[in-house]
Amino acid sequence: MRNRYLVTYDICDEKRLRRVFKKTGAFGVHVQYSVFQCDLSPRELALMKSSLDPLLKHDVDQILIVDLGPVEGRGSVSISSLGLPYRPRERRPVVV
């Protein structure tokens, strides 16, 4: 079963920020500046955490991972917005 996660981060160094942005993008869809929506299995969640952890300076950087619930249930409707409307973006495979 896949759950939807909201992943947000506060990274204090520009170089680490770019690395975290790129790595998080491999697991989800970029929603706002430092916010991603990720639909992950438990294995993919563990993989994402283990690949992001070494990129951080743990005494100044932070990544928050919020579980919004199953993709096919509450997770699909648990994000709302004020101002500009929230429009979910779908990930599509890129064939090279």
Tell me, what CATH number does 53's domain have?
Answer: 3.30.70.240
Rounded to whole angstroms, the Cα distance separating 81 from 76 reads: 14
The 10 Å Cβ neighbour count of residue 41 is 12
Q: Count the domains in the chain.
A: 1
Domain for residue 78, yes or no?
no
Domain for residue 50, yes or no?
yes
> What range defines the domain where residue 44 resides?
3-69
Domain for residue 15, yes or no?
yes
Domain for residue 30, yes or no?
yes
Contacts of 91 (CB under 8 A, 6+ apart): 28, 29
Mean per-residue pLDDT, 3-15: 94
Return mean pLDDT, the chain. Answer: 87
Domain for residue 26, yes or no?
yes
Domain for residue 91, yes or no?
no
- pTM score: 0.81
Asked whether the predicted pLDDT for residue 47 surpasses 90, the reply is yes
Domain for residue 35, yes or no?
yes
Q: Are 37 and 28 in contact (CB under 8 A)?
A: yes
CA-to-CA separations, 95 to 32, 60, 90, 92, in angstroms, rounded: 25, 38, 16, 10
Asked whether the predicted pLDDT for residue 88 surpasses 70, the reply is no
